[in-house]
Amino acid sequence: MRTIRYQEIANTLRERVGAQGPGHVLPSESHLSAEFAVSRVTVRRALELLRDEGVLASRQGFGWYVATAPVQQRLTALDTIEHQLEVGGSKAERQILEFAFVDAPPHVRERLHVTQVLRVKRRNLADGTPFAVVTVWCPAELGQHLSRRDVERKPFYELLGLALRGATQTIGAAAAGDDDAALLEIPVDSPVLRCERVTTTESGEPVLMSEHIFPAHRTEFVVDLPQAAPSIVPSGLRLVD
């Protein structure tokens, strides 16, 4: 039986992505068009065939990638994504990239009201696949007893020895820079979710600030909303300049 060209391409890509992990990003359609010496229409038909089979998925502004169930984080309590992953049966892993006492950057100084901080940067993985780059700033006075090994094994919430009231979390869209793209194994300028979190004690004193970068195609946040007046505007939405 004669095989149509786009089916041949689909077969080749199916074998190729079978050796790659979930979430792996494919080359652009123009790149694939040049590789197989066919039009983008033919490449698109091959990709759509694999999407219909559940092998690939795509998102506007991101491109095509090996289909995967996104990592979910429920925003209902002050909890760690590692704990939620483990409850869901996934293996959570932390890779500490930086551990240093430094001068607080202006935006951190403004929120934590300190000039010296412990900065910890890490990469989070779920079942071996990177899904977050996280930077945490802690007042140097509170972090002076901590070691690299401590922050690799436990969340700051457990290490500070303070009663915490909760956190304010702000989530926005951004594009992946060179460093984050390399760590997340995604193309530069890919859509990412940027989350900034400030954690406070029961008395309202800010003691932690963190920045989380998530690849948009691998992660999603789930928010449980209490009963309120009906509105078509998402709760908590605000405009930024």
Per the structure, how many domains does the chain have? Answer: 2
**Residue that finishes a domain, picked among 66, 92, 111:** 66
* 155 and 207 co-located in one domain: yes
Mean confidence (pLDDT) of the chain:
84
pLDDT for the residue numbered 79 = 61
* Domain shared by 57 and 77, yes or no: no
Residue type, 32: L
pLDDT tens, the chain, 241 aa long: 446 898 999 999 988 887 776 777 888 889 999 999 999 999 999 999 988 888 888 876 667 888 776 666 665 655 666 766 776 677 888 999 999 999 999 999 999 999 999 999 999 988 888 889 999 999 999 999 999 999 998 888 889 888 888 888 888 888 888 999 999 988 888 888 888 999 999 999 999 999 999 988 777 777 776 665 555 556 565 555 5
Is residue 227 in some structural domain? no
Q: What is the pLDDT of residue 233?
A: 52
Which CATH number do you get for residue 142?
3.40.1410.10
pLDDT of amino acid 78: 54
Residues 15 and 118 in one domain: no
Examine the domain organization and report whether 59 and 148 are in the same domain: no
Q: Which residues contact 26 (CB under 8 A, 6 or more apart)?
A: 13, 17, 32, 47, 56, 63, 64, 65, 66
Same structural domain, 122 and 22: no
Degrees (nearest 5) of the Cα angle 216, 217, 220? 65
The answer to the question of residue 237 being in a domain is no
The answer to whether residues 110 and 55 belong to one domain is no
| pLDDT at 73 (0 to 100) | 64
CATH at residue 58: 1.10.10.10
pLDDT at 208: 94
Task: Please tell me the predicted confidence (pLDDT) of residue 155.
Answer: 86
Q: Tell me, yes or no, whether 241 lies in a domain.
A: no
Instruction: Say what the pLDDT of residue 72 is.
Output: 62
What does DSSP say about strands 191-201 and 206-215: parallel, antiparallel, or unpaired?
A: antiparallel
Q: In which residue are the tokens 């922050």 written?
A: 151
With beta carbons less than 8 A apart as the criterion, state whether 130 and 184 touch.
yes
Print the domain residue range for 24. Answer: 5-66
Domain stop point among 26, 48, 66: 66
Same structural domain for residues 172 and 206?
yes
By CB neighbour count within 10 A (0-12 exposed, 13-18 middle, 19+ buried), where does 3 fall? exposed
* Residue given tokens 């984050």 in the structure block: 180
33 and 57 both lie in a single domain: yes
